[in-house]
Amino acid sequence: MELIILGLLVIGVSIPIYLFFRRKYIKFTSSVEQQIDSFINGNFDKKNINEENLESKINSKLYKLENIMKAQLEESNHSKKEVQEMVSDITHQIKTPISNIRMYSDTIVNNDLPQEKEYEFLEVISSQVDKLEFLLDSLTKMSRLETNMLVLNKESRKIIECLEEAKRQANPLAEKKNISIEITGDTKTIVKYDKKWTLEAICNLIENAIKYTNENGKIVINLEKLESFLKIDIIDNGIGIDSKNINNIFKRFFREQKVHSIEGVGIGLYLSKNIIELQNGYIKVKSKVREGSTFSVFLPI
């Protein structure tokens, strides 16, 4: 009899407790379900995410997940926009030399021109083919950068080897304008760098300096060993860069309005910046209009 009474008491106490916790469980699961639904629909409610209970902790995790997914979506949209812009830029850049080649070749084929005029037009076509070849080569390099296909093989060697080769390659262009190129400073410093791609970056910077320096000008390449970096200053006394454009010159295809008459497509500086940054270095620029520019390359020692 006592056992029956005890059993009834246990049941009597258990049922209210069960009903209480069942209501709590239903309320909790219903709340979580609502938060998941709002999360799926993009209307996540940030309430109660800082309280010390299980529901709050779940809401907090959902809130963090929402932020991560939003950031990934924004990054994906940004990448998609960049690809679209790149395709548009490439199409625009290639269109001009192809149009010129077509126009001059049609003129030669469809007209009875004097031999002298034909030779003149053929030279124009040849120059446009060279421009197209240069452009496609630059775009290939840019594409390798954009798709992370550029593989660097860094080895410890004297940086002077790279600079002397860059100077040798730039000399023919410099001689046409009677521009001198001088290398000064700490030429014995050893740096771990990729010879091929660092040469590409330095050549682009030197050729850029030559391009925007007037005849009889001067370019100095000065090396200075710092505590953690080797600084390579490429100094010219050319036309300089407008201060409002300093932050834009490393963007692909960017060219200042005042230099549109000078041959170029606006890829060289973009390539140089990315090549140096891939080696944990960076580039800084100082410039003054009509006085010249200094491009400082910092490579870790």
User: What is the model's pLDDT at position 288?
Assistant: 92
CB 180 within 8 A of CB 215: no
CB 135 within 8 A of CB 94: yes
* CA gap 255, 248 in Å, rounded: 8
User: What is the model's pLDDT at position 225?
Assistant: 94
Task: Assess whether 123 and 172 both reside in one domain.
Answer: no
Task: Assess whether 17 and 87 both reside in one domain.
Answer: no
Task: Assess whether 248 and 236 both reside in one domain.
Answer: yes
Among residues 95, 94, 86, 122, which one has the least CA distance to residue 107?
Answer: 122
Domain that holds residue 66: 2-72
Last residue in a domain, options 18, 47, 72: 72
Determine, yes or no, domain membership for 184.
yes
Q: Model-level pTM?
A: 0.66
Task: Assess whether 164 and 250 both reside in one domain.
Answer: yes
* CA gap 283, 279 in Å, rounded: 12
Task: Assess whether 180 and 274 both reside in one domain.
Answer: yes
Domain count, the chain: 3
User: What is the model's pLDDT at position 207?
Assistant: 93
User: Which residues make beta-bridge pairs with 277?
Assistant: none
CB 183 within 8 A of CB 163: yes
Determine, yes or no, domain membership for 120.
yes
What are the per-10-residue average pLDDT scores of the chain (301 residues)? 60 62 62 64 60 64 71 72 67 80 87 85 86 80 77 92 96 94 93 94 95 94 95 95 89 70 74 94 94 96 88
**Residues in Cβ contact with 59 at an 8 Å cutoff, skipping those fewer than 6 apart:** 35, 45, 46, 47, 48, 49
User: What is the model's pLDDT at position 57?
Assistant: 66
Phi, psi of 172 (to 5 degrees): -55, -40
DSSP per-residue codes, 184-199:
EE-TT-EEEEEHHHHH
Task: Assess whether 54 and 88 both reside in one domain.
Answer: no
Task: Assess whether 176 and 129 both reside in one domain.
Answer: no
Determine, yes or no, domain membership for 67.
yes
Among residues 147, 136, 143, which one has the least CA distance to residue 94?
Answer: 136
CB 294 within 8 A of CB 233: yes
User: Is the alpha carbon torsion for 239, 242, 248, 253 positive or negative?
Assistant: negative
- Return the ∠ at Cα 120 (arms to 115 and 121), rounded to 5°: 100
Q: What is the three-class DSSP state of 217?
A: coil
User: What is the model's pLDDT at position 13?
Assistant: 58
**Residues in Cβ contact with 157 at an 8 Å cutoff, skipping those fewer than 6 apart:** 190, 191, 193, 195
Amino acid at 124: V
User: What is the model's pLDDT at position 22?
Assistant: 62
Task: Assess whether 138 and 162 both reside in one domain.
Answer: no
Task: Assess whether 127 and 89 both reside in one domain.
Answer: yes
Task: Assess whether 167 and 249 both reside in one domain.
Answer: yes
Tokens 């963007």, residue?
251
Last residue in a domain, options 102, 122, 146: 146
Determine, yes or no, domain membership for 151.
no
Amino acid at 24: K
